[in-house]
Amino acid sequence: MLTQRLLLSDRGGMIVLGLVLATMILVPICNLLVPETSALHISTFTVTLLGKFLCYALLALSVDLIWGYCGILSLGHGAFFALGGYAMGMYLMRQIGPRGQYGDPILPDFMVFLNWKELPWYWQGFDMFWFALLMIIVVPGILAFVFGWLAFRSRVTGVYFSIITQALTYALLLAFFRNEMGFGGNNGLTDFKDILGFPIAASGTRISLFLASGFMLILAYIACRYIVTSRMGKVIVSIRDAETRTRFCGYKVESYKLWLFVFSAILAGIAGALYVPQVGIINPGEFSPLNSIELVVWVATGGRGTLFGAIVGAFTVNYGKTVFTSYSPETWLFALGALFVIVTLVLPKGLVGLFNRTKKAASKQNPGNPPPGNPAPATAPSVTPNMGTSTENFISAETPVIAAVKEPV
Amino acid sequence: MNIFSHKRYSMGQKDPNFGAPLDTTHRTILYVEGVTVSFDGFRALNNLNLYIDEGELRCIIGPNGAGKTTMMDVITGKTKPDEGSVYFGQQINLLELSEHQIARGGIGRKFQKPTIFEALSVYENLELATAADKRVWWTLSQQLNSAQKYRIDEVLLQIGLAEHRYKNAGSLSHGQKQWLEIGMLLMQNPRVLLVDEPVAGMTGEETEKTAELLLSLAGEHSVIVVEHDMKFVRSIARKVTVLHQGSVLTEGTMDQVQNDPKVIEVYLGE
Amino acid sequence: MRNSVKPSGRWLLHMIVFLSCCFSATVFSQETETSPEAGTTSVGATAANADNEATSQPEFDVLVKELTQGSLPARAQTAKKLAAFEDERVANVINALQQGTLYATKDENPLVAIVDEAGIYTDAINGEKITGGTEEFKRVPINNSMRSQLRTLLAQLNLTHKDASIRLDAVNRMIADGVDEDSISLLKNLQKAESDNGVRSAIESAVALFNLHSDDQQLRLGAIQVLKDSLQQEVRTALSNVAANDADEKVKHQAQLAIKAIDSSIAKYRFAENIFFGLSLGSVLLLSAIGLSITFGVMGVINMAHGELMMIGAYVTWVVQQIFPNQIAYSLAIAIPAAFIVAGLVGIAIERGVIRFLYGRPLETLLATFGISLILQQAARSIFSPLNRAVELPVWMSGSLQINPVLSITYNRLYILIFGLLVFFALLVILKKTTLGLKVRAVSQNRAMARAVGVRATWVDAMTFGLGSGIAGIAGVALSQLTNVGPNLGQAYIIDSFMVVVFGGVGNLWGTLVGAMGLGIINKFLEPYAGAVLAKVLVLVLLILFIQKRPKGIFPQKGRAAAD
């Protein structure tokens, strides 16, 4: 029953997850087993690129959950991504040990360079992998909790919230640029050697990281699906569409927003943590407001309000970016800017909406009978004014009739 | 200056004990006493006193700007008054509670403009409004039990939307939306219903049905109706309160009120 | 050095030029009246100098040449004679001689040249550059006694200069170099004849500084009394020396008191300086935020491309200067209206092309305008190159108003502060008094009703957006006077401007004013303690906390309109 609710009723999601799974099977084979001379061989570089895309997809999923379903547009989700990344980066830094340029067994190179004598307190414990994992979840989670608590309780909504989140990531950007913060300043954390004892640049490690990203994406997708198909999911959509009504129905809107925001931030943090070992660097640039707003566009391009749309968007836009920037870097910003405008003006439901529209036009199917048991995720109100009154069924309260209607599942 | 002492939207308050039966020893369920609200020097409510009995159907009329909507805002916790007190039964001070707590406690409100969840089906709208545990973690795993499903069917019939149960709420007609909203209030098992302009924009037939519905609700619930449509008010009213410039001008039956010289002066001008 | 007018007078002159530029668009005739006036002052001054030179020409020539020849005592006499001349070049020559940078050829009729740090030879008599045969020149030798005599002469020369500000400079330089017996007697002589109050009190300080080391206890005490009002660094150093080392306890104590008094008044002026810097930053924020306040507050439209409209304004200034490279002083008079029009038109194009399809969908508007901002930035990069362009500062805007040794105010910041307020009040008048303003307010309060009474809402939208964008363009002109112009110019200010609008309360121009100035001042007061970056972070955190207390800003909109 649960699989029915989570996956089977979600055809787009099934297709997208199927594709992800297929890549997860094919890519390792093509990289490790197919000889390099073969046309089917996939280079480790491509594996890393695909792994990056999977992390981006996870990040996009986290944004879609709060924006597409709850209407909270966070322009600071890059901050949570970066914080998760930094937590992982700190672990990787500690793993370098005495192999750094200065050969200090404890201190990372940049601290030796800054003439620091001992490890700052917040770097303690990051030599242990489990602790780093914990921090990957806790740090973005706590920041999101504190920030969200402050923002939601004072009913900061809509564009105000967006701007304040942008300010948040901007503030973190400025702060992390400072050498005194102890996160490597401008250069960030890099020169990683190995992760859990495996050399970080080896194909095997890269494949493992790629697979881990894929599994995490699938897991997160199912978790998000669970949320949006539960009653909580309906409450969240209600908050998006009529916040006051939801409140007057007895729901504590602030709490719902807060927990969803925290969950989303944790997902973003995990995405960042998976991203860093694959690209081999984390620096303050990840906090830049442009990054955060760009990832919103991935979601918008794919189609917000459908979870798989976010994944589609992340892959499409980033593939486009890879192609564009290798072809001519200047045109990329033009293309990105145009994408922002086009998506908002012409494609409010993104590629998924476009696909649905063409499909609908092709089949001309009457959407009058909604499939039972499928609480159609967040379709925007179709404005078909039906002013005809239907009073035939008006039965007064004195005669309650138990109608033999099918109960929705 | 402790910014965290800001109480208004505090998220840490405990819900009052709504499980205990409401203490209505004196038959009065809602006390609004000496309430004053001002915006920028303009007094929207001015020392307003209002008492609603259990099971009563009360109509509130008054010219534009008399403070009708503000009064509802105060009762439902949307606006906090500068002065005065609002009690629900003998014990519960509504001014200390936030909107969702008041809603959980049994005061339902219908807005002037119908507000329903347009992206969801009629059934889901009612499902969300169902009286149940509405804390975050519960809603993650909760399913409707059979009593709740029964109740939804009951309300669907009551508001006449039984055959539209799977329809997208956004595609309902204006009148149907109004009824759906009233249905959502009913799902909360409220003690008091605040209904703001229920028949605005309705056809004659729809208005009639609405009157019927509201009359059927009185008795079991206390119903407060704010309305401009005098014909409608006359058709349902037992007791009418006239608001003017933020306070009660007069109270009585429709006939008494209509013949009151003060009311005539307010409505017709000097 | 352009110290030809007294500070107050100069300030006034600047005011006139500045105001005329501000209003050039509307009161062009007035501007043409004032500018020749400003011009004549300098032209007149040069003419007077030319007369002077004509009469003294032969004598000066001869004396300068004599100065390089003959015995040392004879040359000392020549120097004295030369010093008596009223000629601008005299000081240069004596100074060069004293510094050892005066060179001459060993001829009957020698060439005399002054050599600067870069090794360039300039003829001491006609001021022309000497290019060939510089190896012929030898340094004009002097000895120690002559060197000190020359120093006195030089000081005297400046101390008796007809311009009070040069006299003041000379005294202050003497204080800085340290006063000795000779210079004190010279100063004491001058003190009686001195007419300018500022110069007289500077001389008093110099004398007192000298007396600080006298053997007479009373004299030292008197000196401390005189010096306790001075703000000069040297005075404070001398006093702290006395406070630490003086043999007499009473003198020590008084000196300590004086230092305390000086420190407190320095602190006072530092405070005033901080306020000024805060207001200056505030005025920049104000300029960038009021345009935003209109589009965001009045129309409910989030325009993320606002920063880029400022960038456009700044580039317009640069382009205007490229077109009229010789009219830098008046370039702003063209740049301001041009920037307003260009940015305004771009704004209208954005509104007509994109935003009008997105009314009522603020989050989408935000994204779409962000896309536009990316396009505009990249366009600037493609057209003007990614490098920063320096906009030249008109002469009347450079330099600073020195109020005392501790406090000085740069003119460009001062003018931008005034300019920001002018724009603010102009906008206030537009919104309150004109029909456009009335229509804008009507549409912002109730779109449907405004349309019902015959207001063309779409036209008003476009005009309002154009107005807000035009003001962004003007803000860009002001910014170009403070920083370099580059494609990222707008980005640096956009988040801060949004903060101002949020802080001040949406839809309230006064709130924007208070918000901008408040944030500016807070920023500048945090900077000394926390550093610029951390100050910014702190301000953001403070703002988030502030919103807890006042979710709708300092001046929230109240009543029915505010509800949802």
Residues C482 and C284 sit within 8 Å (Cβ to Cβ): yes
What is residue A126's predicted lDDT score, i.e. its pLDDT?
92
Nearest partner of B32 among B63, B58, B65, B6, judged by Cα: B58
Q: What gap in Å lies between CA B243 and CA B50, rounded to an integer?
A: 10
Chain-chain contact of B140 with A231 (C-beta, under 8 angstroms) = yes
The subunits that touch chain A, with at least 3 C-beta pairs less than 8 Å apart, are: B, C
**Residue C559: predicted pLDDT:** 41
Query: Nearest chain B Cα to A244, which residue?
Result: B115
What's chain B's length in residues?
270
How many angstroms separate the CA atoms of B171 and B180, rounded? 12
d(CA B99, CA C564): 15
Cβ–Cβ of A337/C374 closer than 8 Å?
yes
**In this structure, are strands C138-139 and C102-104 parallel, antiparallel, or unpaired?**
antiparallel
Smallest Cβ–Cβ distance between B40 and the set C548, C549, C558 belongs to C558
The band of B3, judged by pLDDT with boundaries at 50, 70 and 90, is very low
Tally of CB atoms within 10 A around B94: 22
C558/B39 Cβ within 8 A: yes
C555 to chain A, closest Cα gap in Å: 16
Task: Name the band, by pLDDT with cuts 50, 70 and 90, for residue B38.
Answer: confident
Helix, strand, coil % over all residues of chain B, rounded to 5:
40, 25, 35
Asked if A289 lies within 8 A of C495 by C-beta distance, the reply is yes
When the pLDDT of each residue in chain A is averaged and rounded to a whole number, the result is 84
Are A286 and A55 in contact by the 8 Å Cβ rule? The answer is: no
Does C545 touch chain B if contact means CB atoms closer than 8 Å?
yes
Using CA coordinates, name the residue in chain B closest to C556. B40
Task: Give pLDDT, residue C562.
Answer: 38
B9 and A383: CB-CB below 8 Å?
Answer: no
Residues of chain C whose C-beta is under 8 A from some C-beta in A? 302, 354, 357-358, 362-368, 370-375, 377-379, 381-382, 495, 498-499, 502, 533-534, 536-537, 540-541, 543-545, 547-548, 551, 564
Question: pLDDT digit string (tens) for A1-38?
Answer: 677 777 777 888 999 999 999 999 999 998 888 888 88
pLDDT digits (tens, 9 = 90+) for C90-111: 777 777 777 778 888 877 777 7
Residue C67 has pLDDT above 80, yes or no: no
When scoring A249, A369, A374, A393 by the number of chain B Cβ atoms within 10 A, the one with the most, hence best to mutate, is A249
* Average pLDDT over all residues of chain B: 83
Q: Is residue B213 pLDDT above 70, yes or no?
A: yes
Test the A interface: residue of C544, C550, C552 with most A CBs within 10 Å: C544
Return the closest-CA partner of residue B265 out of B40, B63, B34, B60. B63
Contacts of A394 in chain B (CB under 8 A): 160, 209, 212
pLDDT, averaged across chain C: 77
Distance from CA of C563 to the nearest CA of B (A): 10
pLDDT of C516 above 80: yes
The alpha carbon dihedral of B39, B45, B51, B52 has a sign of negative
Residue B269: the pLDDT is 59
pLDDT value at residue C547 = 74
DSSP assignment string, C28-86: HHHHHHHHHHHHHHHHHHHHHHHHHHHHHHHHHHHHHHHHTSS-HHHHHHHHHHHHTS-
Q: Can you give the three-state secondary structure of C23-43, one letter per residue?
A: CCCCCHHHHHHHHHHHHHHHH
| Chain C interface mutation, best of A145, A170, A181, A246, highest count of C Cβ atoms under 10 Å | A170
> Quick one: average pLDDT of C337-365?
91
- Tell me which of A266 and A163 has the higher pLDDT: A266
Q: Give the tokens for residue C397.
A: 């805007």
Highest mean pLDDT among A252-256, C18-22, C494-498: A252-256
Kindly determine whether residue A400 and residue B216, on different chains, have CB atoms separated by under 8 Å: no
> pLDDT band for position C269 (50/70/90)?
confident
- Out of B128, B176, B203, closest to residue A235 by CB: B128
| Tens-place pLDDT, residues A206-262 | 999 999 999 999 999 999 999 999 989 999 999 998 888 899 888 999 999 999 999
Contact pairs from chain A to chain B, CB under 8 Å: 181
CA-angle at B97, arms to B92 and B99, nearest 5°:
120
**Chain A contacts of C378, Cβ < 8 Å?**
330, 333-334, 337
* From C549, C558, C559, residue closest to B6, measured CB to CB: C549
Q: What pLDDT does C312 receive?
A: 94
Interior angle at CA C410, CA C404 and CA C411, nearest 5: 120
Q: Does A145 touch chain C (CB under 8 A)?
A: no
Nearest Cβ partner for C371 among A163, A178, A337: A337
CA distance B207 to chain A (A): 11
CB-based contact A160 C354, cutoff 8 Å = no
Selected residue of A1, A239, A245, A409 to mutate for chain B interface (largest B Cβ count, 10 A): A245
Of B220, B249, B193, which Cα lies nearest the Cα of B58? B193
Backbone angles phi, psi at C216, to 5 degrees: -80, 120
Among all chains, which residue has been given the structure tokens 């965290």? B4
- pLDDT at residue A80, as a whole number: 97
Who wins on pLDDT, C185 or A80?
A80
Beta B222-226 vs B192-196: how paired, if at all?
parallel
- Cβ contact, residue pair A378, B119, below 8 Å: yes
Q: Across residues A252-274, what is the average pLDDT?
A: 95
Encode burial over A190-213: b for 16+ CB neighbours within 10 A, e otherwise: bbbebbeeeebeeeebbbbbbbbb
Q: Is C483 exposed, middle or buried (0-12, 13-18, 19+ CB in 10 A)?
A: middle
Q: How confident is the model at residue A62 (pLDDT cuts 50, 70, 90)?
A: very high
Is the predicted pLDDT of residue B16 greater than 60, yes or no? no
The partner residue sitting opposite B128, judged by closest CB among A234, A387, A396, is: A234
C-alpha to C-alpha distance for C79 and C77, rounded to whole angstroms: 5
8 Å CB contact of C371 and A156: no
So what's the pLDDT on residue C14?
52
Nearest CB neighbour to A150, from listed C363, C370, C544:
C544
- Using CB atoms within 10 Å of the CB of residue A363, give its burial: 0 to 12 exposed, 13 to 18 middle, 19+ buried: exposed
> How many residue pairs bridge chain B and chain C with CB atoms within 8 Å of each other?
17
Other CB atoms within a 10 A radius of the CB of residue C205 amount to 22
Whole-structure pTM value? 0.78
Asked which of A65-69, A221-225, C218-222 is least confident by mean pLDDT, the reply is: C218-222
Q: Do A162 and C363 touch (CB under 8 A)?
A: yes
pLDDT above 50 for B218: yes
Q: What is the pLDDT of residue A203?
A: 87
pLDDT at A383: 35
Q: Which residues pair with B248 in a beta bridge?
A: B243
Chain A: residue nearest C531 by CA? Answer: A178
Q: Do C502 and A289 make contact, defined as CB atoms within 8 angstroms?
A: no
ipTM of the complex as predicted: 0.85
- Residues of chain B contacting A397 with CB distance shorter than 8 Å: 158, 213, 216-217
Q: How far apart are CA C346 and CA B183, in angstroms?
A: 51
Rounded to a whole number, what is the distance in Å from the CA of A131 to chain B's nearest CA? 27
Distance CA A172, CA A164 (A): 12
Whether the pLDDT of residue C182 is over 90: the answer is no
Residue B29's pLDDT band (cuts 50, 70, 90) = confident
> Which of B10, B75, B100 should be substituted to probe chain A, the one whose Cβ sees the most A Cβ atoms within 10 Å?
B100
Question: Cα separation of B233 and C150, whole Å?
Answer: 106
CB contacts of C545 in chain B (<8 Å) are 3
pLDDT digits (tens, 9 = 90+) for B77-100: 888 888 899 988 887 888 888 888
Q: What is the pLDDT of residue A235?
A: 92
Q: Helices marked H in C228-323 — which ranges?
A: 233-245, 249-292, 306-323
State how far the Cα of C115 lies from the Cα of C131, in Å rounded to an integer. 12
CB contact under 8 A, C548 and A154: yes
Do B3 and C558 lie within an 8 Å CB cutoff? no
The DSSP-derived string for C317-376 is HHHHHHH-TT-HHHHHHHHHHHHHHHHHHHHHHHHHHTGGGGTT-HHHHHHHHHHHHHHH
Query: B136, A405: Cβ pair inside 8 Å?
Result: no
Q: Between A150, A163, A344, which is nearest C498 by CB?
A: A163
Instruction: Give residues with Cβ within 8 angstroms of A327, minimum separation 6.
Output: none
**Weakest-pLDDT range from A186-190, A225-229, C77-81, C346-350:** C77-81
Determine contact, residues B209/B160, Cβ cutoff 8 Å.
Answer: yes
Residues 6+ apart with CB under 8 A from B81: B35, B36, B37, B45, B74, B95
Q: Which residue of B has its CA nearest to C546?
A: B3
Residue C49 pLDDT more than 70?
no
Query: What's the helix, strand, coil split of chain A in %, to 5?
Result: 70, 0, 30
Of all residues in chain C, the percent with pLDDT exceeding 90 is: 13
Beta partners for residue B86, in sequence order: B32
pLDDT tens readout for residues A76-117: 999 999 999 999 999 999 998 888 888 888 888 889 888 888
Task: Please give the residue of chain A at the shortest CA–CA distance from B103.
Answer: A250
- Average pLDDT on C44-70 reads 59
